[in-house]
Structures are given as C-alpha cells and as structure tokens.
Amino acid sequence: MIFFVVENEIKELKQYIEDIFADYNDINEDTRLQLELINETLAKNKELNRPRNPIGFNTPQYKQ
C-alpha cells in the first residue's frame, strides 16, 4: 500500500517539475522576443540620430 502512495507522489512531482520547466521556457522565449524588439528599436534610432538644435534661446544651427 505504501509503495502505491509513494509511486503516485513521484508521478505528481514529475508532472509538477515538467510544468515548472515549461513555464521557465515560456519566460525565456518572451524575454528573448523582448530583447530582440529592443535591439531593433535601438538600431532604428541610430539611423535617425542626426545633429539636433541646442536647447535654449540660441538660434538654430542645423537645418532639418
């Protein structure tokens, strides 16, 4: 009788561990996707980076 109880608990523990690893992999995929989007955004901003007018009451030095 005890053997069946222990065997059942081991099966439940294995299922629980598999669920945890599945959640962990989902988080990794989400993080990877977010980092990829951040890198794409930064790459686009580098292309748009151009001289800008200084802040203040001075006249603009750059034409747009």
User: What are 7-50's pLDDT values in tens digits?
Assistant: 888 899 999 888 888 777 777 788 888 888 888 888 776 666 66
pLDDT score for 19: 84
pLDDT score for 63: 60
pTM of the model: 0.42
**How many whole angstroms from its chain centre is CA 57?**
41
DSSP label at residue 59: P
End-to-end Cα spacing for the chain: 83
CB distance 27 to 34 below 8 Å: no
d(CA 7, CA 55): 72
